[in-house]
Amino acid sequence: MSETSATNEQFDLVVVSNRLPVDRIVDADGSAAWTRSPGGLVTALEPVMHAHGGAWVGWPGMPDVEVEPFDEGGIRLVPVPLSADDIEQYYEGFSNDTLWPLYHDVIASPRYHREWWDAYKSVNQRFTDAVAEVASEGAVVWVHDYQLQLVPKLLREARPDLTIGFFNHIPFPPYGIFSQLPWRTRIVEGLLGADVIGFQRQADAVNFQQAVRRLKGYPTRRGHIEVPVVDETPGVRVYGPIKPTGPIRTVVAREFPISIDASIYDELARRPDIQERARQLRADLGDPRVIIFGVDRLDYTKGIGHRIKAFGELVADGEVTVGDVVLVQVASPSRERVVPYMELRDEVELMVGRLNGDYSTIGHSPIAYYHQSFPREEMTAFYLAADVMLVTALRDGMNLVAKEYVASRFDDDGVLILSEFAGASDELTRAILVNPHDIEELKRAILRAMELPKRERKSRMRQLRKRVFDNDVAKWSNEFLEELAKARAAAND
């Protein structure tokens, strides 16, 4: 970290994401404080920021609040204020009702509104301005996720001295889908402002390179894209490859599969109080022989309906007995003001209500459903109690829940059922892999997981744990930052 003045500190590493990793809590006496907030990105980046020291630029999570930069847990947090209109149009609108469904294989229909795009541009510009102010000369800036895809280009224009990385936490869609987006070329140009663009899976990086070839005509070769320093075709659709005439820079676009801090879950799961809590949960659920567990943000990409359908058919067919087996589904509240999320909640709760209404006995229900968030300790107790973990995402960048389950199972027990449409399936090949659209296959997988012999459970879980512990979040961030360091060295050559 370098300081220019007490009030105008600058940082050599700046992370930028839509949300700052904090929530503001107001006590009964009216005093306010900040507390860490849950979520995939925070879980992933916290250790990196602690290790390197640095600044994190993002929205503090509430509309219309102006907050001065502050320190929390050794990180300088730089809030970017968003108005209620920004949240509606940039965040709930363009990010979560246009890009999110588009990038997840149009499971829901993306909505295209020009005023949402205008808000997206203007908020991306404000994030860029905030970063440009706190980044020291020659700093490394790491931009995160689909809400901020224009920042790399805007930042390169404002601060050519910076080394810029971008990581996309969600999938990047095939060109046939991406090409629906009216502003597709602007997005590709925005991303190409980075030196390194990271994706979860190789398939995502390949999709991106195809979009670059189709929309910009730049040559791409094994994850390296040749980008002219001066773009002679801004915003123009090109047909066929373009031979750059002026100087070029090389942009790296490849996969960096994200992970978790596995040791945190391992340590939590080894705590006697958490093991006791896991036993208590089982007892409170009526001591079933098998607990099947799912935990997701309540999102249509997670395939919650598919898993309830499959489980419901097993109950209806008498292949599982209520009381002997229970499905525990935690659906943490998410994006509750976005219409498809409201509809999804109704759909899921109708399914749960019907199934429980039809098949509950006095004292036992097929599904224990919680539309709530739980503390990490409680989640770990659930992971420990779960004989079968069900991850049925229809499309998912990675899915950290699958990795958290594995990291918690220090006892080498438990069975993971994992969708092949989650990025995690590239690594966690010893899970029972399923196509969640195939309800019959999903039912067979559930039955198989419930009956898997102990020896096989152990052998599978050991191999899964090796993958998760060998490839933890520290390795992920180190590899990304090393690639950025290489990019910087090449640029200075």
Q: Contact residues for ligand GDG (CB under 6 A)?
A: 38-41, 43-44, 169-170, 258, 295, 297, 330, 332, 373-376, 379, 396-401, 404
**What are 31-36's contacts with CB under 8 Å, separation 24+?**
34/70, 34/72, 34/77, 36/72, 36/73
**97 to 18, 33, 144, 178: CA distances (angstroms):** 15, 31, 18, 14
Q: At its nearest, how many Å lie between ligand GDG and the CB of residue 395?
A: 9
Stated as kind and residue range, the H or E segment containing 479 is helix 473-492
- Concatenated DSSP letters for 214-273? HHH---EETTEEEEESS-SSTT----S-----S-EEEEEEEE------HHHHHHHHHSHH
Please name which of 320, 319, 457, 331 lies closest in space to residue 388, comparing C-alpha atoms.
457
Least distance (Å) between residue 370 CB and ligand GDG: 8
Query: How many residues are given for the chain?
Result: 493
CB 267 within 8 A of CB 398: no
Closer to ligand GDG by Cβ: residue 292 or 322: 292
Q: Which of residues 41 and 327 has its CB atom nearest to ligand GDG in the complex?
A: 41
C-alpha distances out from residue 68 to 80, 388, 437, Å: 9, 46, 48
Residues acting as catalytic residues: 169, 396
Nearest distance, CB of residue 154 and ligand GDG, angstroms = 23
CB of 183 or CB of 383, closer to ligand GDG? 383
* Nearer to ligand GDG among residue 169 and residue 282 (C-beta): 169
Q: Are the C-beta atoms of 325 and 450 separated by less than 8 Å? A: yes
Helix (H, G, I), strand (E, B) or coil at 192: coil
Q: What is the separation, in whole angstroms, between the first and last Cα of the chain?
A: 24
Residues 6+ apart with CB under 8 A from 369: 329, 331, 349, 352, 356
Q: What is the 3-state secondary structure (H, E, C) of 195-220?
A: CEEEECCHHHHHHHHHHHHHHHCCCE
Q: Are 207 and 178 in contact (CB under 8 A)?
A: yes
- For residues 437 and 428, the answer to whether their CB atoms sit within 8 Å is no
Nearer to ligand GDG, 218 or 300 (CB): 300
Nearer to ligand GDG, 186 or 297 (CB): 297
In whole angstroms, how close is the CB of 397 to ligand GDG at the nearest point?
3
- Residue closer to ligand GDG, measured from CB, 424 or 450: 424
Nearest to 307 by CA among 295, 318, 317: 295
